[in-house]
Amino acid sequence: MKQSFQKSLRGNLKNILKGEQRTQLGPFVLRFKFKENRIYFITFRHHDKVY
């Protein structure tokens, strides 16, 4: 999981997801954001239904 976070930090965000990060874990997408040294999980859904 740590590697997934590190990889997603390197990518650019789309305008629709501004302020959020995302990473793919198998067929699922985890959307999250960092704020004040904390990680906030937004959604964890199948990639067909997350957007």
pLDDT tens string 13-31: 444 566 788 888 999 999 8
- The count of domains in the chain is 1
Average pLDDT over residues 30-50: 89
> Is 19 a member of any domain?
yes
DSSP codes joined into one string, 1-51: -HHHHHHHHHSPPPGGGTT-EEEEETTEEEEEEEETTEEEEEEEEETTT--
> Is 39 a member of any domain?
yes
CA-based angle 30:33:39, to the nearest 5? 90
> Is 37 a member of any domain?
yes
> Is 51 a member of any domain?
no
Instruction: Look up the domain containing 12 and give its range.
Output: 2-46
Q: What pTM value is reported for the model?
A: 0.60
